[in-house]
Structure 1
Amino acid sequence: MLTTLAIANYRSLRSLIVPLGRLNVVTGANGSGKSNLYRALRLLAETAQGGVVGALAREGGLSSTFWAGPEELSRRMQRGEVAIEGTARGEPKALRLGFSGTDFGYAIDFGLPNQLPAGSMFSLDPEIKSEVIWAGPFLRSANMLVERRGPMIRARAGKSWQVLAQHISGFESMFTHVADAQRAPEMLDVRDTIRRWRFYDHFRSDADAPARMAQLGTRTTVLSHDGHDLAAAWQTICELGEREALGASVDDAFPGGQVGIVDSDGRLVLEFSQPGLLRPLRSAELSDGTLRYLLWIAALHTPRPPPLMVLNEPETSLHPDLLPALARLIVHASSRSQVWVVSHASRLIAALEAADDCHSIHLEKTLSETKVAGQGMLDEPAWHWPGR
């Protein structure tokens, strides 16, 4: 489980260090930085997939993601006594992302290249300056396990260090370059944990949504991000012994409703029955809200729960009366996975915050900088960024 998330110089997140719980609800007004926090977490996930540089390019390049304000906001600037203006930089511009967990912590530092080979056209390509894996709640020299500085990666071996690689490219994470289960098992552990993080962001429910189409039946333990394998995922959960739990979740939201899966020449089709209907409705006939809610049931009842599940605005297209049932579904999922919910639906937020182990993160923006409301310097978890 993640216990701390730290972000520096990513869009409105100039310096954000957030403690985390088992169930986390991220709230705030429009423009407060909820989407930036969500996107920063997705960037962290891309480090283990080998796609973080491409993800930054899709955001307009590293330079466009940097915090656009001054390096430091003085007290006089914050009080409005003097104009906000830039000063001479004391440190090179850097985008930093990191987390600590119950087992290991990880941090990565991006910057622009110092120099490039003659004729190179990639002057704006981000360069990974450093990466570190450590054990414990925050980074210290004594608990550092793996360190990457520039092109070299080394791992702790007792009281000394051993070099794992010396010529890694600046645009590659150490996770994609080194996989040594004997000399650096921590790298495999952290990489595999990050790769199992799961993100769900706005299931489609329009007339051409993949979830409305019949699909070839194959065992599906993890619902895809677009929901095209809804019928297969539902049937997989039923065959693995969770049929009653699925039925209870359907009945909680749609009293008396039932879901069945039909085999049509090897293709699976979802059917929904409800009191008052003379025939079941197939997924192509369902309302947007009903289809989207059934997608959430299949996603949150996964027989392969991830270490982290992130739900971005799950209330989209749902009637407000469905939100208490959705909250109960999410709370149940948090007993098997750490869950993040990014939302601005007050009814869903209130229902989630009523749970015993809910950790609420309310974001606000002051002078264009995103902060956690009510969090002072002494409330932040201990955190140290690796040096370059």
Structure 2
Amino acid sequence: MALITLAVSGYRSLRSLVLPLGRLTVVTGANGSGKSSLYRSLRLLADVAQGQAIASLAAEGGLRSTMWAGGSGYSTAMRSGRSPMQGNIGGGPVSLRLGFASEDYGYAIDLGLPIPGPGASREEGSLFGDDPVVKAEAVWVGERLSRHNAIAKRGNTSVLVQDGNGRLQPVVTDLAPFESMMMRAADPTNAVELLVLRERMRAWRFYDHFRIDRDAPARIPRIGTRTVALASDGSDLAPAVQTIREIGNGPAFDKAIEDAFPGTSIEIDATHGLFRLSMRQEGLQRPLDASELSDGTLRYIALAAALHTPRPPELMVLNEPEGSLHPSLLEPLARMIAAASARSQVLVVSHAGPLVDALFDHGAQRLALEKDSGETVVADVDPPAWVWPER
């Protein structure tokens, strides 16, 4: 089911952001407006379902380095410049909150730091005392959390899940502070809703760094097997294209390539299990091997393979897909993305005006980010109603 709301609080420049999402949404804004932070926060939310959220935060420098660095609120005078900026930086509890609501379920998690004191990890001599811990967590039915629609929530070391009579009953009683209930409590017997939601989150796909350099794996023959989802770096491009042709919509993929590069076609051959991709062009006596293709051409082919997957995910996120593309390719790319949104919900992060405008013309919802006193805000958008789970 499609996401209808994305909520982030306390992550870099995203002090408190609640956004509506459509079937096709394009997030845009100037450099430094918070686009990358929004993209990373959504990836971090997906990492929760993989059990990788704490590791991902550590890779970014730890929870403290990703926190909102401003105050809890600014007055009109501060924003207008009539008085100096002041806030309560560091005055409140450390909190990074991430959540979403879909057409059926909602989920939110609140990450903080361990509380020093007797029994705390530092007192026990642990070297992991700066690792974030889960302060609150909840799954609910409907667009926003209330006192009556929670079907699972965290309670210290316990996970409470709604039983057949509608009562919240403990299904786990030894949950560690650093563990998400999505990892420990999701099972087909006692918490099937958590299991379903976790697997849906795990299936989200993110594409932001296709390898297109001269040594990219996609440029050289590689062992290939049936590939229903292109790897995030595009390394299995040749078998992914062949899989589309055998069990997916091969004609649609070929049409998308022809739309961008008139008079061309993609060829795949396999020798001794090694798959090789090449492009045949009118006027050339031989096809061009993947090693000979320009960076932009290879990137476009990878985008076409990702968007024509024979197993469409519920959510696909593209971060700055316009990189290395010639401006003439942006309109064909927009058409390809719009067509893919009929099969998957698609969120595009881009600062390329022609691509943003083309997607808007194809019915995309546009969210324009901007900075206001260091805080990322969205102009002319009414935020959906949202309630965070209590600690």
> Residue in 2 aligned with 1:57?
58
> Residue in 2 aligned with 1:131?
137
CA distance in 1, matches of 2:377, 2:52: 28
CA apart distance, 1:169 = 1.0
Matched, 1:383 2:376: no
- Asked whether the 8 Å contact 2:141–2:150 carries over to 1, the reply is yes
CA distance in 1, matches of 2:161, 2:249: 43
CA distance in 2, matches of 1:352, 1:159: 44
CA apart distance, 1:134 = 0.2
- Asked whether the 8 Å contact 1:5–1:98 carries over to 2, the reply is yes
CA distance in 2, matches of 1:314, 1:86: 37
CA distance in 2, matches of 1:267, 1:119: 52
CA apart distance, 1:27 = 0.3
Alignment of 1:3-18 (within 5 A): 3-18=4-19
> Residue in 2 aligned with 1:71?
72
CA apart distance, 1:265 = 2.0
CA apart distance, 1:324 = 0.4
- Asked whether the 8 Å contact 2:151–2:168 carries over to 1, the reply is no
- Asked whether the 8 Å contact 2:208–2:318 carries over to 1, the reply is yes
CA distance in 2, matches of 1:338, 1:352: 14
> Residue in 2 aligned with 1:365?
371
CA distance in 1, matches of 2:329, 2:136: 46
Any gaps of 5 or more consecutive residues in structure 1? none
> Residue in 1 aligned with 2:146?
140
Q: Which moved more, 1:98-107 or 1:234-243?
A: 234-243
Could you say what secondary structure the match of 1:227 adopts? coil
Number of residue equivalences: 384
CA distance in 1, matches of 2:150, 2:282: 60
Could you say what secondary structure the match of 1:222 adopts? coil
CA apart distance, 1:241 = 4.8
> Residue in 2 aligned with 1:279?
286
- Asked whether the 8 Å contact 1:213–1:228 carries over to 2, the reply is no
Alignment of 1:1-388 (within 5 A): 1-87=2-88, 91-115=92-116, 116-117=120-121, 118-157=124-163, 158-356=165-363, 358-375=364-381, 379-388=382-391
CA apart distance, 1:87 = 3.4
Any gaps of 5 or more consecutive residues in structure 2? none
- Asked whether the 8 Å contact 2:248–2:309 carries over to 1, the reply is no
AA partner of residue 27 (structure 2): V
Q: Percent same amino acid among aligned pairs?
A: 53
Could you say what secondary structure the match of 1:141 adopts? coil
CA apart distance, 1:90 = 7.0
CA apart distance, 1:180 = 2.3
Q: Deviations over 1:67-86 (max 9, x none)?
A: 10112222332232321123
CA distance in 2, matches of 1:250, 1:163: 53
Q: TM-score, normalised by structure 2?
A: 0.96
CA distance in 2, matches of 1:314, 1:273: 24
CA distance in 2, matches of 1:250, 1:265: 27
CA distance in 2, matches of 1:344, 1:179: 38
AA partner of residue 68 (structure 1): A
- Asked whether the 8 Å contact 1:202–1:313 carries over to 2, the reply is no
CA apart distance, 1:122 = 2.0
Could you say what secondary structure the match of 1:142 adopts? coil
AA partner of residue 138 (structure 1): R
Q: Which moved more, 1:131-140 or 1:157-166?
A: 157-166
C-alpha RMSD over aligned residues: 1.3
Could you say what secondary structure the match of 2:148 adopts? helix
CA distance in 1, matches of 2:91, 2:248: 59
Q: TM-score, normalised by structure 1?
A: 0.96
- Asked whether the 8 Å contact 1:128–1:150 carries over to 2, the reply is no
Q: Deviations over 1:233-291 (max 9, x none)?
A: 11111111522112111110011101111112221111210111110011111111111
CA distance in 1, matches of 2:248, 2:83: 65
- Asked whether the 8 Å contact 1:27–1:342 carries over to 2, the reply is yes
